[in-house]
Amino acid sequence: MYAKTQTLPTTVKVQSDNGSLRLQFSTKYNPVFGGKRKHQGLGMKDTPENWQKAIAIACRIEGDLQHPDWQQLFDPSFAKYGLRSKYTAELALAALIAQPEPEITVGAMWERYLEWKVTTVQETTFATAFRTFTNVIEGKKWNKSTRSYTNSDRCLSNLSCECKTEIFALLSSTTIRQKTYLLSELSQAFDFCKSKGMIKKSLENPFMSAKFSTPTVTTQDKYADKVVNGELVSWHEVQDEKALELDRRAFTKIERDTIIKGFYESKKASDKIYAPLIEFYFLTGCRTSEALALNWNNIDFDRGTILFSKSLGQTTRKVKETKTGEIRIFYFSNNSRLKELLLKVKSESSTNLVFPAKSGKYHNQSSLTKRWLGYTLTDVLADGTEKTYYYPGIVSQLVEDGKLETYLSLYHTRHTYITLTANANKHNNNALLHIATSCGNSVDVILRHYLGVSEEAKIIEV
């Protein structure tokens, strides 16, 4: 008596089903048969002689399926193997053989990459640069008249990563100023997805073309207006924090006190609310965003310390780590002007923020800059013509009135503190080290760039 199932030394089995023989294919062949487990009737009764015939047929089918050219050898109608089928070979091939899985699209690749990238960069960077890149990939263009994004015919999202020619053409026509940065991120996105097995085929990275390695930046692009916080700003008015850090000019002590007095004595309440904050900048040398995120838990009056561990994102208005990622401790003495200022501010405070806006929430850095520099407003008159009004900020007005020698930005409150304090303590190495540490700088930078120590100074030999 034969067993009802005989397992072959292959991946095809002969089975008995209700007195008739059939073939059962291994699940490894599911893709060949439309993703389903395949059973094929043989039209034979369950007898010893038919078992041997069935085994021979199974071995032949197995041999065709395991051959490198199986798509040419295997007959899904089974007519080649002496079996009958209601489907012709052509219909069976179309219905049963799975189509190759399409390659991942640029849009899907970018989405998978962003899910990882958001964990590696600052939230402000992600919300600005990567939002811009996503708009470019999705074919969205900024419309100046409507101040919104509109769709264009330059969408990369739906292109397969195999479509190098089409990708090349669309990227060539992209006018984004950060094209090099965008291409670098797309190249990294491709490599990331490939390392995760999301890109199935051995494709060449379509974003590594030499033609994109040094894209042309036209003079028009370089000096074009830029969108900052939704407002169109002339290129020379965009504040670059790195450039500001290198521009180490400073106000004099008299000019410093003149500016502080200007804020405190302003007739505008919108200016006066910033007075304690401006004085704090001048007395600590902290970065603008660090003071905006400061709360009373960061200040210890008994020990005389301020802990700078956070900053406020200018675009996101969310708290993040400091620019350098470092935590700094700033020390102040018991009888200092800084302690007197902080005690006064605390006595008038009703929130945990040291320098809150009138609403009790974080100050808007753009509004602070307007009070320092000034701003313009354009009004449409009854006859349809436009008239622009200029409202100078406190510092701009002081320059116009001749009370300041030159205009310097809000960031220069930091350079003023370091310059004045370093010069007052230039013969005290411990004091210089303290200034450098509390401001997130180095003694070398203070010596070379704030005190102007010459590298050619002669050393007295002993």
Is 68 a member of any domain? Answer: yes
- Residues 283-297, mean pLDDT to the nearest whole number: 91
Residue 418 in domain:
no
Q: Residues 90, 112: one domain?
A: no
Band the pLDDT of 7: cuts 50, 70, 90. very low
Number of domains in the chain: 3
Residue 236 is predicted with a pLDDT of 55
Q: What is the mean pLDDT of residues 108-120?
A: 87
Residues with Cβ within 8 Å of residue 439, at least 6 apart in sequence: 285, 286, 328, 414, 417, 418
pLDDT of the residue at 90? 42
Residue 460 in any domain: the answer is no
- Can you give the pLDDT at residue 339? 95
Average pLDDT over residues 106-119: 88
Looking at the structure, do residues 149 and 263 belong to the same domain, yes or no?
no
User: Where residue 456 falls among pLDDT bands split at 50, 70, 90?
Assistant: very low
The answer to whether residue 416 is domain-embedded is: no
What CATH number should be reported for the domain holding residue 294?
1.10.443
Instruction: Return the higher-pLDDT residue of 90 and 199.
Output: 199
Q: Is the pLDDT of residue 237 over 70?
A: no
Report which of residues 98 and 333 the model is more confident about: 333
For residues 409 and 249, the answer to whether their CB atoms sit within 8 Å is no
Judgement on whether residues 42 and 169 belong to the same structural domain of the protein: no
Residue 226, classed as helix, strand or coil, is strand
Q: What is the pLDDT of residue 213?
A: 45
Alpha helices in 239-317 (DSSP H): 241-246, 253-264, 269-272, 275-284, 288-292
H or E segment and range at residue 436: helix 429-438
Q: Once rounded to an integer, what is the mean pLDDT over residues 183-188? A: 86
**Which residues touch 226 (CB under 8 Å, ≥6 apart)?**
232, 233, 235, 238
What's the pLDDT at 92? 43
Q: Which residue from 408, 406, 417, 461 is spatially nearest to 441, judged by alpha carbons?
A: 417
Q: Residue 151: what residue type? A: N
Within-domain flag for 87: yes
The Cα–Cα gap between 140 and 150 comes to 5
**Residue 422 belongs to a domain:** no
Query: Do residues 91 and 110 share a domain?
Result: no
- Do residues 85 and 143 share a domain? no
Q: Is the pLDDT of residue 323 over 70?
A: yes
What integer is the mean pLDDT of 40-46? 83
CA distance 80 to 82: 6
Same domain, 198 and 314: no
Residue range 70-94, pLDDT digits in tens: 777 887 777 777 775 544 344 444 4
Last residue of a domain, one of 187, 202, 233: 233
Average pLDDT over residues 422-441: 80
Same domain, yes or no: 76 and 211: no
Angle (nearest 5°) at CA 282 between 262 and 314: 95
pLDDT score at 158? 84
Is residue 435 pLDDT above 50, yes or no? yes
Position 400 pLDDT exceeds 60: yes
* pLDDT range class, residue 258, cuts 50, 70, 90: very high
Lowest mean pLDDT segment, chosen from 162-176, 179-193, 292-306: 162-176
**Per-residue pLDDT tens over the stretch 335-372:** 999 999 999 999 998 899 999 988 888 888 888 989 99
Indicate if the pLDDT at residue 216 is higher than 60.
no
As a whole number of angstroms, the distance between CA 159 and CA 138 comes to 11
**In this structure, are 34 and 171 located in the same domain?**
no
- Mean pLDDT of all residues in 197-221: 62
Q: What pLDDT shows up at residue 2?
A: 41
If you average pLDDT over each of 7-11, 160-164, 186-190, which comes out highest? 186-190
Compare 456 and 232 and report the one with higher pLDDT.
Answer: 232
Beta bridge partners of 391: 375
Residue 337 or 208, more confident: 337
Segment 436-453, tens digit of pLDDT? 777 877 667 777 667 754
Query: What confidence category does residue 322 fall into, taking pLDDT thresholds of 50, 70 and 90?
Result: confident
- 80 and 171: one domain? no
Domain stops at, among 207, 233, 259: 233
Residue 266 contacts residue 394 (beta carbons within 8 Å)? yes
Cα-based distances in Å from 420 to 116, 144, 198, 406, 412: 45, 45, 57, 17, 12
pLDDT of residue 295: 92
| Claim to verify: residue 201 and residue 256 sit in the same structural domain | no
Domain with 111, as residue range(s), is 106-233
Residue at 198 is within a domain: yes
| Banded pLDDT at 217 (limits 50, 70, 90) | very low
Mean pLDDT of the chain: 79
Domain boundary among 54, 70, 96: 96
Whether residues 83 and 113 share a domain: the answer is no
pLDDT of residue 68: 74
Task: Please check whether residues 128 and 252 belong to one and the same domain.
Answer: no
In angstroms, rounded to a whole number, what is the distance separating the alpha carbons of residues 394 and 374? 7
Classify residue 219: in a domain, yes or no: yes
In this structure, are residues 305 and 367 in contact, taking their beta carbons and an 8 Å threshold? no
DSSP output for 113-181? HHHHHTTTS-HHHIIIIIHHHHHHHTTEEEETTTTEEEE-S---TTSBTT-HHHHHHHHHT---TTHHH
pLDDT at residue 151 tops 90 = no
